[in-house]
Structure formats: structure tokens, C-alpha cells
Structure 1
Amino acid sequence: MGAISPLGHDSTSTAAAYTSGKPAFNTIFHQGIPTPVAALPAEAEEQLQQLLLANPVYKQLDRSVQMAVYAARQAAAQAGWLNENAPTDDDLAVNIGSSRGATGLFEEHFGAFQQENLSSSASPTTTLGNLSSWVAHAVNAGGGQISHSITCSTALMAIANGVAWLKSGMAKRFLAGGTEAPLTPFTIAQMKAVGIYSRLADHPYPCQPYAAEKQNTFTLGEGAAVFALEQVLNPAPGTPVVEGVGLGFEKLVSKTGISAEGINFQKSMRQALAQLPEHDRQVDLIITHTPGTRAGDKAELAAIQAVFGDILPLITTNKWLLGHTLGASGALSLQYALHVLQQQQFASIPYPHHLPQQAPARINRIMVNAAGFGGNAASVIVGVAS
């Protein structure tokens, strides 16, 4: 696993951030209005810049691609797959996605276009295919290279693709994840135009999923996370294992595709649970999508109640710490799930909320949810080998 986010640049710094429970938000002025965002901290930014200094060709790429390369190289190195001078690994496939893609560079090039000074690099550096192709280049992967966007379900859809490719034999090793660099003027303006952006710039917790006070507190963050996946018949005890992957879609009922019942979530969760052993289709914890919007948070909780009935698993989220990273959010939630499985602890939500927080004796299996515009949802169940 590799990741870079407002919470850190490696497993140690991220674990420390989750242990401290300190949110990663700061305030910028966007169109003259104080606006909360979650950007990379100084140490993570320094690590990213060191990557660019060591590989000057990366400087031409969008920030979303740069973060994906950073996270992918970290994951590949951890898996023992990062062989700089070896022949191209044709058995290693890549699927990296993003909701918005090269937002920073696109806005820069569009500004240049308005000034009739458009660069020849505008098209090559803003295509979504940049993600997988540059990541593949960075890790010496020669297998399938997929870039995609299914809005905020993107990263978990990449995990689903990885599982499918490995089970089909189309790849022996697979790098899957998501990245997002949405802290740009136009992207922030788009989220504000939807009417969901948090106005709590002066609050220590500007993003408040499941808050007792009913208001929209959506807050943007940036980051990337990538996972090294392979199919292993007898994994060593303690190895993280993807046990189930579910996808769900529903007919559009609004611009954002949210129904009050969370039909898409119901479908994705049930599909993932159906892949567990028939006698053991339970999870100990759900890390929810919940971006801090009234309609979205309520719909997901309704879907969880419909699927699990009166005996709900423990429910939590990490967005009150790092905001909504759009296409990367599912991957960063999955990173959080692996942290919880390893450390057997999670950050307790500090503001007034409606969620029970009584943890079971041990957390052995976690479901991660994600959903996006268009009525889509994805659920991934992860546990550890015994």
C-alpha cells in the first residue's frame, strides 16, 4: 500500500494522524470567502517535491498524476515489485482513477487558451490516460493500463477491476487506486455551486458527517492511495485480504443521483456480503462514504439499516479528518480500514453525532463504501488471513 494525503506521506505519519485524531483542515480565501480545505501537510509536500526533483520529467504532469506516481511507487516498493533497471513487467497491470482528472493543468491551459497562448502540451497532459500510463512508467509495468472515472466510487472500482483481472488470469500482479487534486478555483466553485460546501471555516471540524446539527459540511481534500494486489492461495496469517467487492447502481432521481433509501448502497453492500462464506456474512465495522451532506449521509445510513437490520455493525468515517477527496476517497478509506485492522483502534468522532461508537472486542472484517454522482456505489470488504 502507498498513500499521500492531508494525514501523511507514509504508514507511520498517517497512523500518527489517526491516533491523534487531529483534523487536517486549513482555511484559504476562495473568491474572497474563507473556505476550509484539506491540503497535503508540509512534510508530505516536501516528499512529493523530492520525487519531482529526482525525476524532472514528472514536473510537467498534473498534481493528481504526481501524487498517484508517489503512492504507486510506495506500494510497489513495499510489495517488492519496484525493479528500476529490470525488463518491463508484462504481468503487472495498473488501474488508477480520478473523479476530476487533471483539474489544475486544465484550468491553467484554459486560461492560456483565453489569452491565445495555448501550449502544445495541453492535450497530452490533461488526458485521463495520463494516470495509468505514467504510473506504469514509474513502476516499470507492462501489463494492462486502465484510467477511469466513475466519480467518487472511482478508487473502489479500480479495486474491483484488480480483483477481476487477477481472478481471470489477465494479470499476475495489479496496482489499483485513486488520486485527486481538486483544490483549484474552478473545482471548489463547482462544489459550492451544488450548495453543499461547508461554511464552517472557523470551526475545528468543518466537515461533520452524521452531525447532530443538520447542515451541509462537504469539504474538499486532496490525496492518492494505491494498493498492490495479487492472488494468493494460502496467504500468511495477518495478511490483508479482499474478501468481497460489490457494485450498485440506481436510476437517477436528482443531479447527484441520491435516493432517500440509498438503493445503490444497498445493492453494492449486498453484493459484497454475498461473496462471504454463507455462515459468516457479517462485518465488524463499516467505513462509510458520508461526505458531510444531509441527503447523502442520511441515505447511506438508511441503506445500512435496510441491509443489516436492527443489529448494525460499528459505523465510522475518516472524512471529518481529511475531507472528501472525491475519486481518491474510497482508496483513503481502504487505507484507514487496514490501519484499523492492524492497530485495532480508530479515531472517535469528537463533535455531536448520531452514531453508536461502542467497538466490538476485536475488529476482524471491515466494509468500505463509496458512492458518486450518477447513482453508482461500490463496497469492498477487507479482512486479515488467519
Structure 2
Amino acid sequence: MKATNKHIIIKGYGAISPLGYDSTSTAAAYTSGTPAFKAILHQGTPTPVAALTAEAERQLQLLMEANPTYRQLDRSVLMAVFAARQAAEQAGWLKENAPVDDDLAVNIGSSRGATGLFEHHFEAFQQDTLSSSASPTTTLGNLSSWVAHAVNAGGGQISHSITCSTALMAIANGVAWLKAGMAKRYLAGGTEAPLTDFTIAQMKAVGIYSRLSGQPYPCQPYAQEKQNTFILGEGAAVFALEQIQEPAKGAISVEAVGLGFEKLVSKTGISAEGINFQKSMRQALAQLPEDDRQVDLIITHTPGTRAGDRAELAAIQAVFQDNAPVITTNKWLVGHTLGASGALSLQYALHILQQQQFSSIPYPNQLQQQDTHNINRIMINAAGFGGNAASVIVSPI
């Protein structure tokens, strides 16, 4: 008797970002194709960032008002809780005042963690007024533990950082745990709140931050003009994953997850050939049916840096050669949200699969115009400092 295949499906998702705080507001932002950047004054210099909208900020404030204990938490944790509750509710897992669900595991990651709160407590330390809450609220582990409290999850709880691949690594963990039977349901995602003086200064010190403040498109992945246009953004996205034997038709499946790594050749871990991307994409493709390894579209990592964008394009060329899929990105709209970026790209993939369209890059770029009909399988890439990369493939069943 032939065994029925089991599928890892995305049963629900939630997100909050400069593009919106629910599927409706985010879809409207993608349809309009209007970048979410604004200029702030950082160390006396106008600096573009992508911050939450006023309405998204209000939604975050309502979350804090609903639970007074949330006021002590870092912004990154609050956004993770907001997104996770959305995902759990959409999946039908959110049960208020219920016993903890020991079959529900949580993995939320972040590149920087509680950077805003850490900076606040460090300033208090310098003034000899350090609070007793400094340590428990700035540990990386409080990301997943607070999410677990918010959704009554009693299973495994993981908080991790693998820089900008963090969110897709969480998806990889979710797939592995579900297949291994270590959980029956899994919340996976990433969150980042990096719009602090110190974090912005760090990105400027690397020499990659955009100087196009005040221009319509200050972040320009794949731009014809070779310059660094990296911009920081904030946000979180979380996905409810479950392994199902006979999912409903049209359910979105996580078909494959690939991971890649290469030895350091620069301070950011980027080689000209994008070896880490090549490895992660090939590993993901190898998990597809041997007679059907076609990918229709790739949502690339491409943060708008000369070296990073060029390396990923080189890797795609090496892997796909003359059969390269359509390529797009959302960073020209929302900037680079570091550890949350892969999760927000995955959210974009779900939007594209539903709408069967995506926002065309409006500035002069290196991408060739290709047929965008029948987008059924999407690959999402992410890479981070240190030479790591991840690729996730999703498609409707």
C-alpha cells in the first residue's frame, strides 16, 4: 500500500512592518508600490529608515495596554508577540485562558535582539540606576518565551540568531521538528527593532548605508548605478506550521529548506560567487521531485549593497544558468529588517501566490523583464554576516 505524503503547510501567519499590521494593509502597500521610508536625523545627518506606520504603532500600543507586563519588554519582543498572536489566531490555535499546549513549539529569532532596551539599560548602568529587569528582558531567550506565554505554547521554545538568515533558519527548525515528531504545531519567525542610534551607527561604520535620503527610492537593490543603498527597517513576521497528511487544496506548503555556508572571505562573509547562496539553493532544489524542480520566482535577499547584490545574482546564474526564474525583492519598499527580513520576504511570497502579481522595481535596474504568469513555486533567499545562507521553497498544494 502506497503511503500518503505528508505536507508541512503554513496554516496561518501574522506580521507587522512599515508596510502594514495585517494582510489587508500589507497587501494595499504592495499594490501601491510606495516605499515605506522616512528620514530621521541621526548624528546630525538626514538618514533614511523604514519605521512602522502610525496605525501599526497604534496597534502595538493597544497590545501593551491589553497586558501591562508587556510595558517592560523590548520593541522586538512586542512585535514578535503581535505577529505570533495573529498567526496563531489565523491557524485556530489561539485559546485565551486555556492550559498550555505542550504540542505547540515556538522558535522566534532576531539578529540583534533587544537592542533598544539594552541601550536603555546600559545608559542607566552608567548613571548607577540599573533596573533589576535589565537581564531577563534583554536575554535573547525572552523572545520565544514571551511569545509562548502569549499563545499558551508549552512545547519547545527556541530563540536564536544567525544574523540575517535567522527567520528562515527558524522555518527550517520548524520543518525539522514537525518531521521528527518533536512537535505537532510550530510557530516560527523573526523580529527586529534596530532603529536605534547605536545600531544605525554600526551599519554606517560598515560603509553600506544609503546616502540617498530624500530621494523617491533611497534603497535600490539591483540598481544600474553601482553604489551601496542599504537601509534599516523594523518589523516581525511569524508563521504557524503544521504537518498534515491530506491538506485542503490550495494550502501553502513549505516544500523545501536549504542551508548553505562558506568560509569568511570578507568582514561580511560575502564571496563574489555567492557560494553560500549556491549551496542553500542547490540543497533546497534537491528536495523537490526529481522530475519537477522548476522555480517560477525568487525573492532575493539583496539588501542594496554592491557586493551582496552582485554575489546573489552570480549564485543564481551558477545554479539555474539559462533557466533562471523571475527575480524580485521587497527591500526597495521596506529596507533591510535584518533577522526579520527572511520572514517578511516569506510573507511577500504568500501575497504574490495569492495575487499572482508583484510590484515592479521602478528605478533603472539590472533585472531582465520576464513572463510573470502562473507563479506557483517561489524560492525565498536570505544570507547573513558570517557566511551563512538559507533558501525556502513554498507552493500551493
- When the two structures are superposed, what TM-score results if normalisation uses the length of structure 1? 0.99
Aligned 1:333-372 pairs, distance under 5 A: 333-372=345-384
Deviations 1:106-147 (A, max 9, x none): 000111111111111111110000100000000000000000
Amino acid of the residue matched to residue 23 of structure 1? P
**2 CA distance for matches of 1:48 and 1:15?**
19
* 1:197 and 2:209 matched: yes
**1 CA distance for matches of 2:23 and 2:208?**
31
Cα offset for 1:237? 1.1
Amino acid of the residue matched to residue 214 of structure 1? K
Q: Of 321, 324, 327, which residue of structure 1 is paired with 2:336?
A: 324
Report the 3-state secondary structure (helix = DSSP H, G, I; strand = E; otherwise coil) of the residue aligned with 1:147: strand
Report the 3-state secondary structure (helix = DSSP H, G, I; strand = E; otherwise coil) of the residue aligned with 1:259: coil
Aligned 1:50-129 pairs, distance under 5 A: 50-129=62-141
Maintained 8 Å contact 1:315/1:357: no
Match of residue 7 from structure 2: none
Cα offset for 1:18? 0.3
- When the two structures are superposed, what TM-score results if normalisation uses the length of structure 2? 0.96
**1 CA distance for matches of 2:111 and 2:306?**
21
Report the 3-state secondary structure (helix = DSSP H, G, I; strand = E; otherwise coil) of the residue aligned with 1:282: coil
Cα offset for 1:361? 2.2
**1 CA distance for matches of 2:34 and 2:251?**
28
Cα offset for 1:357? 3.0
Deviations 1:57-109 (A, max 9, x none): 11100000000000000000000000012211000000000000000000001
Match of residue 161 from structure 1: 173
**2 CA distance for matches of 1:274 and 1:12?**
35
In structure 2, runs of 5+ residues without a counterpart are 1-12
Aligned 1:1-386 pairs, distance under 5 A: 1-385=13-397
Maintained 8 Å contact 1:268/1:377: yes
Cα offset for 1:346? 0.2
**2 CA distance for matches of 1:309 and 1:234?**
35
**2 CA distance for matches of 1:189 and 1:366?**
34
Which has the larger displacement, 357-366 or 148-157?
357-366
**2 CA distance for matches of 1:357 and 1:237?**
31
Maintained 8 Å contact 1:191/1:197: yes
How many residue pairs align between the two structures? 385
**2 CA distance for matches of 1:317 and 1:234?**
32
Report the 3-state secondary structure (helix = DSSP H, G, I; strand = E; otherwise coil) of the residue aligned with 2:322: coil
Report the 3-state secondary structure (helix = DSSP H, G, I; strand = E; otherwise coil) of the residue aligned with 1:374: coil
Which has the larger displacement, 111-120 or 179-188?
111-120
**1 CA distance for matches of 2:369 and 2:197?**
37
**2 CA distance for matches of 1:345 and 1:211?**
21
**1 CA distance for matches of 2:246 and 2:207?**
49
**1 CA distance for matches of 2:306 and 2:61?**
37
Amino acid of the residue matched to residue 233 of structure 2? G
Maintained 8 Å contact 1:348/1:357: no
Report the 3-state secondary structure (helix = DSSP H, G, I; strand = E; otherwise coil) of the residue aligned with 1:215: coil
Deviations 1:245-300 (A, max 9, x none): 00000000011100000000000000000010000111000000000000000000
Cα offset for 1:360? 3.2
Cα offset for 1:328? 0.1
**2 CA distance for matches of 1:132 and 1:311?**
40
Cα offset for 1:359? 2.9
Cα offset for 1:356? 1.7
Maintained 8 Å contact 2:357/2:372: no
**2 CA distance for matches of 1:361 and 1:333?**
20
**2 CA distance for matches of 1:205 and 1:164?**
39
**2 CA distance for matches of 1:371 and 1:235?**
31
**2 CA distance for matches of 1:356 and 1:106?**
44
Amino acid of the residue matched to residue 352 of structure 1? P
Report the 3-state secondary structure (helix = DSSP H, G, I; strand = E; otherwise coil) of the residue aligned with 1:2: strand
Deviations 1:37-76 (A, max 9, x none): 0000011111111011011111100000000000000000
Identity of aligned residues (%): 85
